[in-house]
Amino acid sequence: MIWAWVGLGFVAACVVTWLLVFPEARGRLAGRIAKAFADMSGWAARSGSRLARGAGSPARRLRSGGEGLLAALRRHRVVLAIALLLVCVPPLVILGLRQKVVLERFEGQDLAVSRSTIAVLLRGERLVPPPPPPPDVFTSAEVRRVMPAIVTADRRWERIDPDLQQRVLAIYQVMAQEHGIRMVLVEGYRSPERQAELFREGRATQAAAGQSCHQYGLALDSAPMREGKLQWDMQDEWTRNAYFLYGELAQAAGLVWGGNWRMGDFVHVEMGAQCRAARRARAQGG
């Protein structure tokens, strides 16, 4: 879809550049528009025979205008080439680099090292979940106000798919050791009843029972922790960068990050293909 918008912008920019660079083109275009309106008003009063006799005139005008346009393009081809470069190169560069320019805080660091570390951890020995923070971290007044759904959430690692466990634990370890950010599991498995309740109340999810990857242990939610508190505010630079780093590493670990979705579920990661298979199996009664 983004290429379609780039293409439309390119065409529009070319037309505007043509009109700005060639004054005679503006004059011809204005004249043709005025004549078109005059012709339209005259056509309504003409007979069919006169319309037939005059049919060749617009064709001749169109052919003549096309020849004039080609001549103008040839005369000013250098200017047009420069204009095209100015229009095309910046968006193409942005598109080519947009996956590399994600984080503000970490833009000077080589995230390739972190990605490589995750790959090494996933090939190594089994990782163990870190000790959880104190229970009141999930029940504070701020949490009840901002994210009330997590107060009663299930945070038992053993109910999460083992493969997903290892991928997320590798992300946690890299974020803690290489970037000084502690990530905390805020929700893992959801029962069908809890999923239905959250969906019915419009809290935390737009997926009904049976549709959420949480229900199959194939999704979990995490949040960065700073000064003993979970961080949610995406307007805060530190928090925003922490979540984007989390998403970058999640994708490097082969997970789907909810921060890329239209609604921006920044805490969420899931195993997309496995979840789709689980939903299909459930729909088929498996």
CA geometry: angle 84, 88, 94, nearest 5 deg: 160
Residue burial 48-77, b: 16+ Cβ < 10 Å; e: rest: eeeeeeeeeeeeeeeeeeeeeeeebeeeee
Average pLDDT on 228-240 reads 96
Q: Which of 41-55, 97-111, 195-209, 250-264 has the highest mean pLDDT?
A: 250-264
Beta-carbon contacts of 151 under 8 Å, excluding residues fewer than 6 positions away, are 138, 139, 143, 144
Residue 104 clears pLDDT 70, i.e. is over it:
no
Average pLDDT on 68-76 reads 69
Confidence bin at 79 (pLDDT 50/70/90): low
End-to-end CA distance of the chain: give it in Å, rounded: 36
CA geometry: angle 30, 36, 37, nearest 5 deg: 95
Are 186 and 221 a contacting pair, CB within 8 Å? yes
- Enter the pTM of the model: 0.62
Position with higher pLDDT, 211 vs 283:
283
Domains of the chain: 2-97 (no CATH), 111-283 (3.30.1380.10)
Confidence bin at 8 (pLDDT 50/70/90): low
Could you read off the pLDDT of 123-136 as tens digits, one per residue? 888 999 999 999 99
Are 28 and 68 a contacting pair, CB within 8 Å? yes
d(CA 193, CA 98) in angstroms, rounded, equals: 40
Could you read off the pLDDT of 151-185 as tens digits, one per residue? 999 999 999 999 999 999 999 999 999 999 999 99
Position with higher pLDDT, 102 vs 124:
124
Residue 87 clears pLDDT 70, i.e. is over it:
no
Task: Name the residue type at position 9.
Answer: G
Are 126 and 167 a contacting pair, CB within 8 Å? no
